[in-house]
Amino acid sequence: MIRDRRAKIVATIGPASASPFMLRSLFLKGVDTFRLNFSHGEHATHAAEISAIRALEAEVGVPIGILQDLQGPKIRLGRIAGGARMLDRHEKVSFLPAETTPDDTCLPLPHPEIFAAIEPGHRLFIDDGRVRLKVTDKRADRIEAEVLEGGKVSDRKGVNLPDCVLDLPVLTEKDRADLDFGLSQGVDWVALSFVQKASDLDEITGIIAGRAGLVSKIEKPSALQDIEAIVARSDAIMIARGDLGVEIPPEDVPAKQKEIIALCRRACRPVIVATQMLESMTASPAPTRAEASDVATAIYDGADAVMLSAESATGDYPCEAVEVMGRIIRSTEGHALYARAMAATRETAETDADAIADTGATLACRMGATCIMAYSMSGATGTRIAARRPKLPLIVMTRDTQVSRRMALVWGARSVLEASASDYDSMVLTAKEECRKLLAPKLGDTMVVLSGVPFGQVGSTNNIRVATFR
């Protein structure tokens, strides 16, 4: 089974989609990787979901990715006296570092790290930016602010601080427990929230220790300042436009999306575009035209994957949302402008490994080969070829089950798990057999095989071979 599109679909599991029947339906409609949102649900619930996905994988015979999305630290107000209050524009407001306050003349903000980092002139947003304030003065035990945009605030509403970097552990105790659970269950990817700088990845990288791919979520303005280092130290990137769009001007989000995708392609890192892609389909069987254009734009930008959140987790039309997303991807990739866009943004090879991938992809396309076949122990050769966005099917052979599943997030890659090849020649024969199963080539057709000599060593891809079907 090879999808008739190259960009992948990530779908979030929730009450609307967690049953084995719905998981199977969503996969058949086009889901390549399932996201488990650890902001919600108990471990037992997620364990049942993982078990159902693995059973589905065994049934369909296609590797399916599982992405564990950690909650991360949450910056919230405390409990307001009376439960809520209105803030009027130009009103002066005080925040105290406490869980509660005796009356509603002050707002509780139980995060001492904010009082240490914030400065006059910094902005403070409440409830996804619906209420906006500007700091006028700050002391160790009090923040004074003026309301720029007023509205109602209530208990435990989220707070965003776009202008300062907080000295806050990226992994909470809950995250550590969730991460231990996810790794024990064999998740393929772990997404880290609240990344502000590359050094935030130190602890989780050590804990994962190669057992899963690390996805850094880009949702903070400070992350944009250190984006090259973050990309270099991550296995994949998620552009989490929800929080990012709160903390930077919305008109800047499209350009930042393009910049991050281009950077990820240069670095050969898969990149996911996420949040509110088909938001109206949580309650409607059809998207808005603007949403269809948004998904198409991510594909034209060169994203590896696009993601559904509430649409598939809690929406009324999860299967329809996946189906619509697949149709938009196919239509976009079939347009002449898409091929031109991919060619125009194709980067020059920076390393020897990139040059081999680039040469192999170019040769296969010019020959009109049936496919590009990469034998890869780590998956790196597959991601390097995918970064070139070749027009041909890309099949990645590997003997590592987890590498095979991670390819479900990589643009255009269809992985095949095999362990029978013992040397270079037997690998080529196996590659031809797998190509026959998946693509039914005719006699005389060719395929281009990328692999390493000596055979079977990680990081040894140095060989390009043209194989003919006879």
Q: Give residue 1's pLDDT.
A: 72
Q: Which has the minimum average pLDDT: 37-51, 117-131, 278-292, 418-432?
A: 418-432
User: For position 94, which CATH number holds?
Assistant: 2.40.33.10
Residue 464 domain-assigned (yes or no): yes
pLDDT in tens, 21-56: 999 999 999 999 999 999 999 999 999 999 999 999
Are residues 306 and 229 part of one domain? yes
Residue 78 domain-assigned (yes or no): no
Are residues 395 and 337 part of one domain? no
Report CA-CA distances (Å) from 356 to 159, 353, 381, 451, 465: 47, 5, 9, 10, 11
Residue 254 domain-assigned (yes or no): yes
Q: Are 9 and 274 in contact (CB under 8 A)?
A: no
Are residues 309 and 204 part of one domain? yes
Q: Which has the minimum average pLDDT: 6-15, 217-226, 344-353?
A: 344-353
State the pLDDT confidence band at 460, using cuts at 50, 70 and 90. Answer: confident
Are residues 258 and 313 part of one domain? yes
Q: How many whole angstroms separate alpha carbon 381 and alpha carbon 94? A: 55
State the pLDDT confidence band at 458, using cuts at 50, 70 and 90. Answer: confident
Q: Are 275 and 242 in contact (CB under 8 A)?
A: yes
Are residues 240 and 325 part of one domain? yes
Residue 136's region, left for phi above 0, alpha for psi from -120 to 50, else beta, is: alpha
Q: How many whole angstroms separate alpha carbon 69 and alpha carbon 49? A: 14
Do you find a cis peptide bond into 318, omega within 30 degrees of 0?
no
Identify the bridge partners of residue 10 per DSSP, sorted by sequence position: 33, 307
Residue 346 domain-assigned (yes or no): no
Q: Which has the minimum average pLDDT: 4-13, 70-79, 86-95, 344-353?
A: 344-353
Residue 49 domain-assigned (yes or no): yes
What's the whole-number mean pLDDT along residues 121-150?
96
User: For position 279, which CATH number holds?
Assistant: 3.20.20.60
Q: Give residue 82's pLDDT.
A: 87
Are residues 393 and 281 part of one domain? no
User: For position 358, which CATH number holds?
Assistant: 3.40.1380.20
Does position 421 have pLDDT exceeding 90, yes or no?
Answer: no
Residue 452 domain-assigned (yes or no): yes
Residue 438 domain-assigned (yes or no): yes
Does position 456 have pLDDT exceeding 80, yes or no?
Answer: no
Are residues 300 and 232 part of one domain? yes
The residues annotated as belonging to the active site are: 35, 76, 217, 275
pTM for the model: 0.94
Domain boundary among the residues 116, 142, 160 is at 160
What's the whole-number mean pLDDT along residues 340-362?
87
Are residues 400 and 326 part of one domain? no
State the pLDDT confidence band at 62, using cuts at 50, 70 and 90. Answer: very high
Domain boundary among the residues 278, 307, 341 is at 341
- Our count of domains for the chain comes to 3
Q: Are 272 and 301 in contact (CB under 8 A)?
A: no
Three-state SS letters, the chain: CCCCCCCEEEEEECCCCCCHHHHHHHHHHCCCEEEEECCCCCHHHHHHHHHHHHHHHHHHCCCCEEEEECCCCCCECCECCCCEEEECCCCEEEEECCCECCCCCEEECCCHHHHHHCCCCCEEEECCCCEEEEEEEEECCEEEEEEEECEEEECCCEEECCCCCCCCCCCCHHHHHHHHHHHHCCCCEEEECCCCCHHHHHHHHHHHCCCCEEEEEECCHHHHHCHHHHHHCCCEEEEEHHHHHHHCCHHHHHHHHHHHHHHHHHHCCCEEEECCCCHHHHCCCCCCHHHHHHHHHHHHHCCCEEEECHHHHCCCCHHHHHHHHHHHHHHHHCCHHHHHHHHHCCCCCCCHHHHHHHHHHHHHHHHCCCCEEEECCCCHHHHHHHHCCCCCCEEEEECCHHHHHHHHHCCCEEEEECCCCCCHHHHHHHHHHHHHHHHCCCCCCEEEEEEECCCCCCCCEEEEEEEECC
For the CA atoms of the chain, what is the radius of gyration?
Answer: 24
The average confidence (pLDDT) of the chain is 95
Q: Which domain holds residue 121?
A: 84-160
Domain boundary among the residues 311, 341, 371 is at 341
Does position 177 have pLDDT exceeding 90, yes or no?
Answer: yes
Are residues 212 and 64 part of one domain? yes
Are residues 428 and 304 part of one domain? no
Q: How many whole angstroms separate alpha carbon 465 and alpha carbon 450? A: 7
Six-digit token string for 167: 């000295």
Are residues 433 and 374 part of one domain? yes
Does position 350 have pLDDT exceeding 80, yes or no?
Answer: no
Are residues 387 and 287 part of one domain? no
Amino acid at 358: D
Contacts of 23 (CB under 8 A, 6+ apart): 13, 17, 34, 49, 52, 53, 56
Residue 79 domain-assigned (yes or no): no
Q: Give residue 351's pLDDT.
A: 87
State the pLDDT confidence band at 232, using cuts at 50, 70 and 90. Answer: very high
Amino acid at 450: L
